Amino acid sequence: MNTAFETYETAWCPGCGNFGILNALKDALTELGLKPHQVVIASGIGQAAKMPHYINVNGFNGLHGRALPPATAINIVNKDLKVIIDSGDGDTYGEGGNHFIHAIRRNANIAHFVHDNQIYGLTKGQASPTTAKGQKTSLQFDGVILDPVKPIKLALTMGAGFVARSFSGNYEHLKKMMKEAIMYDGYALLDIFQPCVTFNKVNTFKWYNDRVYELPDDYDYTDLDNAFKVADEWGDRIPIGIIYKVEKPTYIDNISFLKDGPPLVDAKLDPMMAEKYLDDFR
């Protein structure tokens, strides 16, 4: 088994929702015609964040909650690389919440896949920022008393140009959404329902299967007002698909020497080029 994006031995639980994401991601990259050295996966900490270890691409497996800042910089420095983030709901919406808000403002070219299982798996079952209010956990014994973060609405509010949702139990849909997000020019949020089979006994494959429905083909994802309404749908029916998508200038588009020039990484270095700046001090 020596495919380009070969899989390594994983440390995930049998039946974990992450496997669906791994398979869809490998196939999405293959179908997009990308080669391993052209792709970077950045991640933080958590089970989802182990993705760069299970697929043969460049990987930046950094600190908890900190995947977005290095991913942003990687895109700025080398626009030829496809930058993807694979990380969890705690990593993205909890520890990394501040970076999430500001990454949307920067609009670097990143496909951000959030493995959203509504629980902390690696630390054995505490509430995550997306755990439902009232849900009992290994730490919130009387049930979560906080309102959950609403990732889709938050991203829309911040002005993200690509906001989508998918489900790890729906391979075809997930692969399609991944390809859309990777090809999108700018920051693309893909929130992925990913059941934690060990610690979240509420949001199971069945729970999601009973609820998720694909947005119809005639759904107008350029209508922001409508996108907010769709983002609010939660309960018996939960929509998946591209909820909002528009074109907007990326970080690189806003800096002319990055947009029109070669990637920053290819810049020629010569100390003598800076000598003229001494004139500022004469």
List residues binding other proteins (CB under 8 A). 8, 11, 35-38, 40, 42, 45, 50, 52-53, 56-63, 66, 68-74, 76-78, 80-81, 98-99, 101-102, 106, 255-258, 261, 264-265, 267, 269-275, 277-278, 281-282
Residue 55 CB, nearest approach to other proteins (Å): 10
Work out the burial of residue 217: count CB atoms within 10 Å of its CB; fewer than 13 is exposed, 13-18 middle, 19 or more buried. exposed
Q: Which is nearer to other proteins, 122 or 164 (CB)?
A: 122
Q: Are 85 and 57 in contact (CB under 8 A)?
A: no
Cα(159)–Cα(88) distance, integer angstroms: 21
Question: Which residue, 224 or 255, has its beta carbon nearer to other proteins?
Answer: 255
Distance CA 145, CA 197 (A): 23
Closest CA to 41 of 106, 26, 27, 13: 26
CA 183 to chain CA centroid, Å, is 13
Q: Across 126-256, where does the E strand assignment appear?
A: 162-167, 188-193, 212-214, 238-245
Residue whose CB is less far from other proteins, 55 or 227: 55
CB-wise, 72 or 200, nearer to other proteins? 72
Looking at 107-199, list the stretches that DSSP marks H as alpha helix, in order from N- to C-terminal side.
Answer: 151-158, 171-183
CB of 282 to other proteins, least distance (A): 6
The distance of closest approach from Cβ of residue 182 to other proteins in the complex, given in angstroms and rounded to an integer, is: 15
